[in-house]
Structure 1
């Protein structure tokens, strides 16, 4: 993916941006440069080569995030066949009793290895997560590519299935008296719950080099997503400090069919002493959404510390089409290099159109219809005043995004779709990169609309406006040849600058901790060839869980430890891994999910794996 005048991709980011209730992580991840094609649920890592994080005006060239992110692109890059043949078999074990296997095979054929094939298949099944819960996952992915002198072609296809049985994630709300302690890790509130996720996608991409100065590219992809069962939102309304709660479960069925495409030209030329990298691109992203009215259970009583069997909502039946959306754009950007690349200036603009419709699930009548256009600018500046290792940068970018929809099934306006909206980000910072080791320090501000819940009427509205300001530090690289580090810290001041209720204006945005930090290290043990030890520290500060800021969950810290060892065994390379997540088995409220609800963090997890190259 092409980048323009912005700091090089950061290896990690701790920045927090509060999301409205409709935000879908799958839509905010690009898959090989195309939005809308990443798997819903969990993105399997088995067929992913790397994760690219592009910040600043580089986002202009990759298309705007359909769910509201500005100033950045997160792109999943699928594996390709390498120059050397590969046949790798991996097995793994995860506590309490889940087993898995993964086959990774790749090979190139033809003159100079022009044709490539890479296959990744994985299966995992067994107990994991909360007590007695089972999860099954099946993945099959194929990647074909052609590398020519001028023409490059690629095809990626995958099928991913997730089945969840006898347990599920859940969310809790607290009584007016305040927050109470979570149950012990592994407590299963939802025995008998089940769910199924199905993702199938295919994408093709082509690029052609007309000359060293001019190239073209095009891509097209489709995703079919289906879900059923008790997928999310199953909740416990806690009534008192003893942990008694009133529970509700609801059975869901739904679908999303996505078509994503892009086409563009890249040109490199010089005017006088100024070098140019210009990109002209067009993108199209279309969603068709189906959803059944959830089957609610009767309210039932239980206790989070001593849970009983939940009541289960009935299967709601077929999922009719309830909406569609089309996001289209045309962008032009130019990165100008001055003074021997000591100054890089990116200027660009994107003409965007967002069309959304909401349909009545029974009659099919249009209940809302929005069509909005906007010309959104982007500006980026990088200056290297003293040495190539030190960069000062600043950027400003705007984006038009699809309006949110109410996914809280208990709300009176469940399913309502709001108008598209614009977001704005400004950022400035410094990067010190010594090649093997680097740091970045930046300040930022993001302004965007926000959905709010009116508890009196149990409805959501899009009248809110939020502003996130903060400071972010990241560190990455290798120290002394044996220690590799990756981490960062962010301070965020998130405020509701405008709300339909005056009492909410000026409040801190729920789900936005002021401090977040993580630091990981990987150490190659001297004298022990192939042995490495690793550790990670994750910290999340306290955060409000509702818009009125009357309830707050505490900060939490998690420690993960691991080791890996690479050895030769019967003329083959064998790699062994062992990891423990949440070493202390600490129970904590992890964060907010919807206005007034929280989720519980995962307990201690053991992971063992062995990989052999055949």
Structure 2
């Protein structure tokens, strides 16, 4: 089934079943897109009395009585965020460093995946470049991914690899250790996706566009069905055209996502959501592996596909959620959520493993047969808003439970003995299809239980103290079977109390200074299926973080500055022996600065920088070395400028961005580095009324200079995305 079958195209069945059903939609989308683009320069063929009248374009007045949180009108500033178990909180009042990417910014930059959506967040490094098999990120020098428990949806831990952007209201990046909020996670941080919720006002938008050579259509509907019942619906269909500016790679996608809010009583709200998403990535870009004595060559032409046609990935998720919020009385509020997810996953990728200085290579092929993961989640929180003398308390007590049951995920992987002549800057080659030899097979059942309490104490108008803690527990049972059928079962049963403290001072409403201390339990390293010591389980450990920060609102800008110091266990994969190890400590300290908003009436900016000093301490090897895959400096800036209105450019906005990443160590010994890279983006956005409808056109060119570059993680080299052009039109009806 899936990639376990020796088929040239492991995803062909899905295309056959569903391709015919949506092909007519794509043809309609292409025609509609062309029509929208030509409309501003075409005459109106209207009713008989107006047949000679030309089409009149006027500047769109999008301003409403109050601009939406995170909207372009507000410079993408977000006032309220989801702070996990603590619920919705004002961003400026949180004693943590948090970056946000609003839904408007995702749409206006035409991001189609998490890597693109986070490209201007100054604290995030995308280790895996343009590869979309499994995205990995680095925050504060630590790895963040689904496998490190650094992903959440609506404040609940998330186990999906692929996330569509079209049903997301915003993405919130909580930088640094967060075990106090989410239990067992790495100290990198948490990337939380907030789903679009029903709207009180009528919302009807249709977007059609092209991402590289892929045509897609997206319908976003919302509004009130009755006085107490509101809805939201998002539907996406995309064809399998080439994506990422890369030859032959395609990613067919669909999404059906809905939500209902029922205001049962003035004090009780019932929330429902359900979604089905699927992507089929075909002809994935190859990965590359080198050694210290070979070095790192200059990156080849990234628009060429160095992978094999039979590679790719399939990810699908069915998700159902229900939530209830009720105000019991003037003091107590009850919040609860439950979610069921079925996650389907398979992949097949290949790597060039270089053998010598001529870059002769062997092919390594890795695959995971199609398997299901069932996730059942529940949380319950009781909030108390009360006073004790001059002190005001917002107290939260709650429990979360995540049950993860992964089916038999048969892994196949091998490095073939045939040596191919090196031709990295010439023509692409790939080995003929054959099923990889049988490898390990793993099933896993894991339960995460977290008890949390937090007391946020307001002392007068200027001081707030938070005292909290989490008792996190993991119960894990993993069964592995090798190619000979021998079975090994490992058990993991640990728990730890993680305290958290903070103090905030607000001399004026627009300025907050804070200091915080957080500890976080982490599950010990489990060597991956591709490591020489696959399945080895290391001891759990506790990371410790100190943070000082300032948050300010100045004019139309939100500014944030944070200093942090983190101690964590050192984990790495020896690139020579391919053995995963956990030895010594990793010390990461540094500065983060971010800014978002309207600097002037017409100029919008979002971006910032990270300056990190990370090193290995008290380890048997690589003392004072920078952990592999960790850049110590990053700077990013996205800008929009609304041109002054005139007959020719009314409603026109210039857009662009720049990002810089310092050189990144390829290995733990710091013998080789991936070169630093600076990337430029540019674009236009045009707003007008066409046929009495508000319309928006967007043109984006990513990697304007078509620069070829590497990114890296765990000794693997990934190609960045080449120059990519995106074009879309949105009509409100």
Asked if TM exceeds 0.5, the reply is: yes
> Over residues 111-143 of structure 1, what are the superposed CA-to-partner deviations in whole Å (9 max), with x where a residue is unaligned?
2xx112211111112112321222211111111
Q: Does the C-alpha gap of structure 1 residues 611 and 556 become closer, same or farther in structure 2, counting only changes over 3 Å?
A: same
Give distance in 2, aligned partners of 1:251 and 1:554.
30
Q: Which moved more, 1:424-433 or 1:234-243?
A: 234-243
Within the candidate set 13, 17, 20, 2:140 is matched to 17
Whether the 8 Å contact between 1:5 and 1:346 is mirrored in structure 2 is no
Summarize the alignment of residues 251-266 of structure 1 with structure 2, pairs less than 5 Å apart.
251-253=367-369, 254-266=371-383
Give distance in 2, aligned partners of 1:8 and 1:493.
17
> Over residues 148-176 of structure 1, what are the superposed CA-to-partner deviations in whole Å (9 max), with x where a residue is unaligned?
41111111211111112223352332451
Tell me if 1:268 matches 2:385: yes
Aligned residue number for residue 232 of structure 2: 118
Summarize the alignment of residues 266-305 of structure 1 with structure 2, pairs less than 5 Å apart.
266-289=383-406, 290-296=408-414, 298-300=416-418, 301-302=420-421, 303-305=423-425
Aligned residue number for residue 317 of structure 2: 199
Tell me if 1:440 matches 2:556: no
Secondary structure at the counterpart of residue 280 of structure 1: strand
Tell me if 1:578 matches 2:699: yes
Aligned residue number for residue 592 of structure 1: 712
Give distance in 2, aligned partners of 1:455 and 1:486.
37
Whether the 8 Å contact between 1:322 and 1:364 is mirrored in structure 2 is no
Tell me if 1:452 matches 2:572: yes
Aligned residue number for residue 490 of structure 2: 368
Whether the 8 Å contact between 1:106 and 1:116 is mirrored in structure 2 is yes
Give distance in 2, aligned partners of 1:429 and 1:376.
21
Q: CA deviation at 1:44?
A: 1.1
Give distance in 2, aligned partners of 1:309 and 1:73.
38
Q: Does the C-alpha gap of structure 1 residues 545 and 457 become closer, same or farther in structure 2, counting only changes over 3 Å?
A: closer
Whether the 8 Å contact between 1:5 and 1:344 is mirrored in structure 2 is no
Aligned residue number for residue 641 of structure 2: 523
Within the candidate set 345, 354, 358, 1:227 is matched to 345
Within the candidate set 478, 482, 487, 2:602 is matched to 482
> Structure 1 or 2: larger strand share?
1
Give distance in 2, aligned partners of 1:380 and 1:311.
59
Whether the 8 Å contact between 2:362 and 2:416 is mirrored in structure 1 is no
Tell me if 1:414 matches 2:516: no
Whether the 8 Å contact between 1:542 and 1:555 is mirrored in structure 2 is yes
Q: CA deviation at 1:240?
A: 3.9
Q: CA deviation at 1:9?
A: 4.1
Tell me if 1:505 matches 2:623: yes
Q: Does the C-alpha gap of structure 1 residues 6 and 586 become closer, same or farther in structure 2, counting only changes over 3 Å?
A: same
Aligned residue number for residue 504 of structure 2: 382
Aligned residue number for residue 445 of structure 2: 324
Matched residue pairs, number?
A: 596
Q: CA deviation at 1:205?
A: 1.2
> Structure 1 or 2: larger helix share?
2
Give distance in 2, aligned partners of 1:169 and 1:255.
25
Q: Does the C-alpha gap of structure 1 residues 316 and 276 become closer, same or farther in structure 2, counting only changes over 3 Å?
A: farther
Give distance in 1, aligned partners of 2:231 and 2:437.
42
Tell me if 1:99 matches 2:236: no
Q: Does the C-alpha gap of structure 1 residues 328 and 383 become closer, same or farther in structure 2, counting only changes over 3 Å?
A: same
Q: Does the C-alpha gap of structure 1 residues 5 and 185 become closer, same or farther in structure 2, counting only changes over 3 Å?
A: closer
Q: CA deviation at 1:456?
A: 5.5
Q: CA deviation at 1:365?
A: 5.2
Whether the 8 Å contact between 1:93 and 1:100 is mirrored in structure 2 is yes
Within the candidate set 242, 247, 255, 1:127 is matched to 242
Aligned residue number for residue 6 of structure 1: 95
Aligned residue number for residue 106 of structure 2: none
Aligned residue number for residue 277 of structure 2: 160
Whether the 8 Å contact between 1:141 and 1:157 is mirrored in structure 2 is yes
Give distance in 2, aligned partners of 1:551 and 1:6.
38
Aligned Cα RMSD in Å?
2.5
Q: Which moved more, 1:102-111 or 1:458-467?
A: 458-467
Q: Which moved more, 1:236-245 or 1:370-379?
A: 236-245
> Over residues 488-526 of structure 1, what are the superposed CA-to-partner deviations in whole Å (9 max), with x where a residue is unaligned?
101111111133xx3322211011111011011111111
Q: CA deviation at 1:401?
A: 2.5
Whether the 8 Å contact between 2:286 and 2:308 is mirrored in structure 1 is no
Whether the 8 Å contact between 1:544 and 1:552 is mirrored in structure 2 is yes
Summarize the alignment of residues 13-162 of structure 1 with structure 2, pairs less than 5 Å apart.
13-14=122-123, 16-19=139-142, 23-24=145-146, 27-36=149-158, 39-41=160-162, 43-54=163-174, 59=178, 62-64=181-183, 66-69=184-187, 72-95=189-212, 97-111=213-227, 114-125=228-239, 126-129=241-244, 130-147=246-263, 148-162=265-279
Whether the 8 Å contact between 1:36 and 1:259 is mirrored in structure 2 is no
Secondary structure at the counterpart of residue 127 of structure 1: coil
Aligned residue number for residue 426 of structure 1: 546
When normalised by structure 1's length, the TM-score is: 0.91
Q: CA deviation at 1:412?
A: 2.1
Aligned residue number for residue 65 of structure 2: none
Give distance in 2, aligned partners of 1:9 and 1:211.
32
When normalised by structure 2's length, the TM-score is: 0.77
Whether the 8 Å contact between 1:230 and 1:251 is mirrored in structure 2 is yes
Gaps of 5+ in 2: 1-81, 101-120, 125-138
